Chain A
């Protein structure tokens, strides 16, 4: 139990969630907000890559990210509407957004192959962190069955993204 809890805390800490790292269990409206925010962050990163990347595989990967995360986030919006839940902003979402803005600024300074490598490396790390948070914290904390099921589908999709990103990263070496 203690081991599982600390693993969950480590995952959330990786995402930078100060409030949740204190041990509070996120509520469904907070979980919905975190999941949606995490998706929007990856879409923004992919759009930056679509305008800056030079490698064909990197561009294709970025297109896949936009397509999938938009589809999942649309599902999420439909679900919260159906459940009449208002996603609630929280410290994890705020930290995620802040870190993402910093990453976009950092990547913006890079060009060509250096950008491609840095973007894909970040995609690997980011999907790892999000998947770990989903697996260890968000899915176990979700109360609503439909929300839980959407998060589980999301996890499966994002695990695929993680492997895809790792594959692209290996090709770039």
Chain B
């Protein structure tokens, strides 16, 4: 009973450790209604950190509906990338703000 429970936890810890060691955090800023960089390349498991430097609320919303991250004024929002592919995203409040995320497996 006891060892049966500890083993999966140890395995999970190992797995988690190996994933986080490889994963990176990519920062993308939103300033003066521009997404910079407008094209970013990441890998599955990476974390995207959108930094909203404006006094306005923004969102990072995938065109295909896969993600929708709310970014209040002067705040940061994160997303752990789970799927490979090319994702076009925009700000729902300011549809002129557009960018692309390319996710490698």
- Per the bound structure, the CA–CA distance linking A75 and B55 in Å amounts to 8
Contact in complex: A157, B96 (CB < 8 Å): no
Decide if A103 is an interface residue (CB 8 Å cutoff).
Answer: no
Partner of B57, one of A67, A153, A164: A67
Which of B32, B56, B96 is close to A71, meaning CB atoms less than 8 Å apart?
B56
> Please, which residue of chain B has its CB at the minimum distance from the CB of A75?
B55
Shortest Cβ-Cβ A-B pairs, 3 listed: A160-B96, A64-B93, A71-B55
Classify the secondary structure of B's interface with A. loop
- CA separation between A64 and B94, bound complex, in Å? 8
Given known contacts A64-B94, A67-B93, A75-B55, what 6 new A-B pairs fall within 8 Å (CB)?
A: A68-B56, A71-B55, A160-B94, A164-B94, A164-B95, A164-B96
Q: What are 26 A-B pairs at a CB distance below 8 A? A: A64-B94, A67-B56, A67-B57, A68-B56, A68-B93, A71-B55, A71-B56, A71-B57, A71-B73, A72-B55, A72-B56, A74-B55, A75-B55, A156-B33, A157-B33, A157-B56, A160-B33, A160-B94, A160-B96, A160-B97, A163-B95, A163-B96, A164-B94, A164-B95, A164-B96, A167-B95
1/0 per residue, CB under 8 A from B, across A67-82: the answer is 1100110110000000
Minimum CB–CB distance for B61 against chain A, Å: 12
Which residues of B pack against A, CB within 8 Å? 32-33, 55-57, 73, 93-97
Q: How far is the CA of A68 from the CA of B93 in the complex (A)?
A: 9
Q: Mark A87-124 against chain B: 1 for CB-CB distance below 8 A, else 0.
A: 00000000000000000000000000000000000000
The residues in A between 121 and 173 inclusive whose CB is less than 8 angstroms from any CB of B are 153, 156-157, 160, 163-164, 167
CB distance from A149 to the nearest CB of B (A): 10
Q: How far is the CA of A159 from the CA of B32 in the complex (A)?
A: 12
Report A-chain residues with C-beta under 8 Å of the C-beta of B32.
153, 156
A16 to B69, CA, bound (A): 41
Give the distance to chain B from A70, nearest Cβ to Cβ, in Å.
Answer: 10
CA distance A164 to B93 in the complex (A): 9
Set of chain A residues within 8 Å of B33, measured between Cβ atoms: 156-157, 160
> Which residues on B sit within 8 Å (CB–CB) of A64?
93-94
Contacts of B95 in A (CB 8 A): 163-164, 167
Please, which residues of chain A bring their CB within 8 A of the CB of B97? 160
Give the CA-CA distance A54 to B91 in the complex, in Å. 23
The CA-CA distance from A64 to B55 in the complex, in Å, is 13
Complex: how many Å from CA A167 to CA B90? Answer: 15
Residue of A nearest to B96 (CB): A160
Hey, which chain B residues are within 8 Å of A71, CB to CB? 55-57, 73
A63 to chain B, nearest CB (A): 8
